[in-house]
Amino acid sequence: MSQDNQLLEVQDLHTGFRIKDEYYDAVDGVSFTLERNEILAIVGESGCGKSTLATTIMGLHDPKNTRITGEMLYKDLDLANLNETLYNKIRGNDIGMIFQDPLSALNPLMRIEDQIKEGLVYHTNMTAEQRQARAMELLEQVGIPNPKRVGRQYPHELSGGMRQRVIIAIAIAAKPPILIADEPTTALDVTIQAQILDLLKDLQEETESGIILITHDLGVVAEMADRVAVMYAGQFVEVAPVEELFNNPQHPYTRSLLNSIPQEDNHDNELHVIEGIVPTLVKMPRTGCRFAPRIPWIPESDHEENPTLHEVGKDHLVRCTCYKHFHFKDEGEV
């Protein structure tokens, strides 16, 4: 990957939360790079650490109850070791975030236009008139009709789709080179989802920003992403360019996720269900293959004791050797 285009480099990142007197890693040894003009999708079930990774990059965890180790290199800074004053300069200006739940991310007591202008006050030298003009321009850019009227409204007066557009307007107000979109279309109907995704794609092409797109929707990944990292139990288990991942999935978890998507031409077969659930932080196995308990018909000897990422093709990495032996469960297999 070209060094000039690299926006963010994450190395061996661990985010541990304190439960009683112990720290448990929700993000466990994650490494990746994000390039300019790239959409990197991070995909996996709920509880696998995707949102924790996003909020770690944004520096949103309480240091009293969180332990963060590793490196997050942006320009000449290591975000993992920044103090709050420096982080405040980067948040919003260099890294923007589109939150999962717009209603809880917006201030219910502030007008929409004032919430958009807030970041501009902090990060730019614009005059009040310039900030007002920029707020209207942003509302228009994210496809909100009658921006003047909407700018005077409060969050509860808007629909879910409109609130999500406002969150995007706030995230891109200072034109940050890095944008993190955490499940940006989860609570929206299909038509609005498509509009929001088109909007993100247009914004990215216009600003050449790098986007980290966090989702559990593989349809969104196929449509949007350049590269995909599949996350399970706090670790990346497979990383590949998007076409390679869909055409040649290797890790048992990736294959199981893809196999559980309903197929239009599949009328008689039952829907594939992945056995078991993502383990809780306290019960998560810290040695061996973390996906092994959910594929018990694959013998223990087919897994590595300390699974590492193996290169199986150009820019295609897979964790643990179990990918070589995996097959979907036959009838009668336990």
User: What pLDDT score does 265 carry?
Assistant: 67
**Are 217 and 299 contained in the same domain?**
no
Number of structural domains found in the chain: 2
Q: Are 294 and 286 in contact (CB under 8 A)?
A: no
Question: Rounded to an integer, what distance in angstroms lies between the CA atom of residue 178 and that of residue 74?
Answer: 10
Picking from 169, 197, 225, the residue at the C-terminal end of a domain is 225
Picking from 225, 244, 273, the residue at the C-terminal end of a domain is 225
Q: Which helix (H) or strand (E) holds 195?
A: helix 190-207
Other CB atoms within 10 Å distance of the CB of residue 31: 16
Tell me if 329 is assigned to some domain: no
The greatest distance separating any two alpha carbons of the chain, rounded to the nearest whole angstrom, comes to 72
**Are 115 and 62 contained in the same domain?**
yes
Residue 305 belongs to domain spanning: 235-324
Joined together, the tokens standing for residue 285 give 């196995």
User: What pLDDT score does 268 carry?
Assistant: 60
**Are 211 and 302 contained in the same domain?**
no
pLDDT tens per residue across span 1-60: 456 789 999 999 999 999 999 999 999 999 999 999 999 999 999 999 999 999 999 999
Q: How far is CA 168 from CA 152, 180, 199, 274, in A?
A: 17, 10, 9, 34
Picking from 190, 206, 225, the residue at the C-terminal end of a domain is 225
Q: Which helix (H) or strand (E) holds 28?
A: strand 22-35
Is it the case that residue 334 has pLDDT exceeding 80? no
Q: How confident is the model at residue 225 (pLDDT cuts 50, 70, 90)?
A: very high
User: What pLDDT score does 100 carry?
Assistant: 86
Tell me if 263 is assigned to some domain: yes
**Are 91 and 183 contained in the same domain?**
yes
Q: pTM value?
A: 0.94
User: What pLDDT score does 3 carry?
Assistant: 64
Tell me if 331 is assigned to some domain: no
Q: Are 178 and 147 in contact (CB under 8 A)?
A: no
The closest of 160, 202, 209 to 185, measured between CA atoms, is 160
Please work out, in degrees rounded to the nearest 5, the angle formed at the alpha carbon of residue 54 by the alpha carbons of 53 and 56.
Answer: 65
Give the pLDDT mean for 83-107: 92
pLDDT tens per residue across span 154-205: 999 999 999 999 999 999 999 999 999 999 887 778 888 888 899 888 888 8
What burial class does residue 207 get, using C-beta atoms within 10 Å of its C-beta: 0-12 exposed, 13-18 middle, 19+ buried?
middle
pLDDT tens per residue across span 120-131: 999 999 999 999
% helix / strand / coil in the chain, to the nearest 5?
35, 25, 40
**Are 170 and 249 contained in the same domain?**
no
User: What pLDDT score does 173 carry?
Assistant: 93
Q: How confident is the model at residue 263 (pLDDT cuts 50, 70, 90)?
A: confident
**Are 54 and 28 contained in the same domain?**
yes
Tell me if 333 is assigned to some domain: no
Question: Which CATH number goes with the domain that contains 44?
Answer: 3.40.50.300
**Are 198 and 289 contained in the same domain?**
no
Order of all β-strands in the sheet with 39-43: 95-98, 178-182, 210-215, 39-43, 227-232, 235-241, 316-319, 309-313
- Alpha helices, DSSP H only, in 50-177? 50-57, 84-90, 102-105, 112-123, 128-141, 147-151, 160-172
